[in-house]
Structure 1
Amino acid sequence: MILEHALLTVKPGHASAFEEAMTKAAPLIAASPGFLGLEVRPSIESPGTYLLLVRWESLTDHDPGFRASDRYQHWKALLHDFYDPFPTVTHFSEPLPV
């Protein structure tokens, strides 16, 4: 399992509209092969900042999988104008056995 991570910084005054758009966008990513789950968590200390966590079976399910799909184009149209700055997406492997 791969964990995708991004900190989403939403433009001031647009948090409610972003949350509404994310609700519309979630089914697009959920319909993707290899998709295992999605969490979007608002920051307590930094209003307008959200933690995006997406679980994928493999990295290629996310990229090029989802990112090369028509669903991603719709996701992008719904969400990408909210971000400032545009987020960096990183991927993490299985947890260490600690």
Structure 2
Amino acid sequence: MIVEYIRYELKTHEPHELVEAYRLAAPHFEAAPQCLGYEMSHCVEAPSSLTLRILWTSTEDHLQAFRKGPHFPPFLAAIRPFIGEIAEMRHYAPTDVAWTRTEG
């Protein structure tokens, strides 16, 4: 599994516009077998900064299978207005340093 982080620094759009664009784009992630999950967060200290975290089966599956497959064109159409506001877009491999509190 690979984690892609896309960090947006919005200058010409409002945060709610980006969130809504990803709501429209989300079904295309969900339909793609290469995508294992996603989450968007906004920075509390700087609300015009948002980060999208996407779990992919692999970097190659993302770049080759998803981007060259049928789900990418409609996904791209939904988020295209925001591409110029991407500050960072990279793939990361998780390490074994992790912990999550579970209730119970």
Measured against the shorter chain, the TM-score band is 0.7 to 0.9
| C-alpha displacement of 1:71 | 1.6
Q: Which runs of 5+ in 2 are unaligned?
A: 99-104
Runs of 4+ with >6 A deviation: none
| C-alpha displacement of 1:83 | 4.1
Tell me what 2:58 maps to: 58
Q: Which amino acid aligns with 1:62?
A: H
Q: Which amino acid aligns with 2:72?
A: Y
Q: Distance in 2 between matches of 1:9 and 1:46?
A: 9
Listed one character per residue, the Cα deviations across residues 23-75 of structure 1 (whole Å, up to 9, x for unaligned) are: 11111012112211101001111112111111112112211111112321111
Identity rate, percent: 27
Asked if 1 retains the 8 angstrom alpha-carbon contact of 2:37 and 2:56, the reply is: yes
In our comparison, the structure showing a higher alpha carbon Rg is: 2
Q: Which amino acid aligns with 1:76?
A: L
> Structure 1-normalised TM-score?
0.83
2:97 maps to 1:76? no
Q: Pairwise mapping of residues 10-89 of structure 1 onto structure 2 (< 5 A)?
A: 10-89=10-89
Change beyond 3 A, Cα 1:76–1:87: farther
Q: Distance in 2 between matches of 1:85 and 1:12?
A: 8
Q: Distance in 1 between matches of 2:81 and 2:73?
A: 13
Asked if 1 retains the 8 angstrom alpha-carbon contact of 2:6 and 2:86, the reply is: no
Q: Distance in 2 between matches of 1:94 and 1:16?
A: 29
Q: Distance in 2 between matches of 1:14 and 1:55?
A: 25
| C-alpha displacement of 1:91 | 0.7
Q: Distance in 2 between matches of 1:7 and 1:36?
A: 19
